[in-house]
Chain A
């Protein structure tokens, strides 16, 4: 980044986030319409979610339970008497003229998450988590005459997670988002498919001179839906504000939009007059009372969370802390790991496959962990086959490539392609003798003390056997044969 580097200046950023997470429920907040992503426009709609007169919304119990789960997993207090409020504004994607949300009595308050950046831990406060309904989607018409509205998303259940302004850098923001994402995935509250918009982030950011206790004017950057865009927007905005102050100007309190293609934020058109959402309790929606029995039921449905799982993986599978952290960073990856690990003895090898070849493949092909084409069963078999010396490590890598494309049983692939390690001493000896005959110069060099050349000869043997010769046997025999030659 050119120009001012905020890290080297007397300014520091103060950042708070609002995270909108789409709940992984089947139906909308107040009606039985599906929440599925990517359907034909306006095919998942009914009178309730399109705001037809006289329609009566009825709250999805599971959405409430998921919001409470998210609260429990982020150390929040759960309110016992909660209410839903109407938030009013006019926009075509909001058919009722208001969004059902929660203003004064959100379901969850006062939590925190612990993040780790540069080896130091930090607590990030969570002010609250509330439920609200999503709005529809505006599509821009090619003719340029209209905006088109698709209400499939209207009424889809969301939670909004609001943090305290405890974050101070893009690294901290990144660590927080990843941690939150992991927790939402673990609890099953949200699928966190950011490319489908199921996790969207608003950034509130201001800068001030280091050590100051008052806040500067802040800007809000709306609706970011990738970790990369969030990190870039934070860096850009902190720098932009510091430069404004440096030039003796003040920062305008405003809402901005992030243009990821150009890598800049720009102010959104000003609305006339201050926002006034005229919140009031929604008379169509009854208060939510959470008693001990219900709360305990939700508590008992919470799965093992990432921090606990990481500790267990270190103890149970003897993974190094770094590896355990990597694997448990994704619920799906840790599930995959356990599925494979319980079917073989070498757990470290499973972990190495996941962190190495499999992660590489995932990045290259841009697919999700849930879509890994190799089943955990087959990966476990591959690990066993390698461990028991039936194939070499090098061959295992070749077999893996075939498995990735076909998800076939590795044992079958090995038999079909004849990749089994050659343990037959006489067969290997024949190859070695041939290699020594073909490379008299190398043999001569070794006789004159250039022992390194042995490596070259071993390489030739492996080449002739297609990498299948047992390295232990090759090593032993090549010395035997050289000795024999030199004594002739």
Chain B
């Protein structure tokens, strides 16, 4: 589930789905519901996790496995496409909101969670934050728009390293790479985000929205290409086999890349 509050132009959206805010159909529906009711006079959205474990561990792999293993094989493609279209709609809308969006990240920020964070205009990381694209281990690529969005911010060398090795990087490295713009001690991220929201409140709405529209574009062609590649790979046998291994694993540390 997700919770949100709204006060004096500031939304605080808190992800709170144990174990670590895995993105499945319920989270997706909650995010869509949030987006559909947004007050266009708001100036700031703060996105964060209310769970100690981290920001978000990515897509809900257990739900994905259930959905695919229960469906006939010829339905896998349409099912994946339906989910990926819905998630792209939510991610693109978050990305292009006419508000200043601030992500506060701590702990695990993996896969789809990383991709969700990348929709934010400003990323504030607490020291514990770790960023990772583990998708190749599942026989797929990041499918929620992460690579095209990351390409807006950081160099291709680091993206290739992250994508092709699946390794995770810490907040300090993310700051050096320009992926996040502030690093704070544990528990201090929300204070910094609220201070930024208070600053944002002082700005003229038209100028603020124009500034964002000027500097932040949706990489439409790449997002479309990514979506097609993702669906093609996800229809293959590697994903289902990897999901089966994940779901059936008795390893206590399934999230370690």
Q: Do A and B come from one complex?
A: no
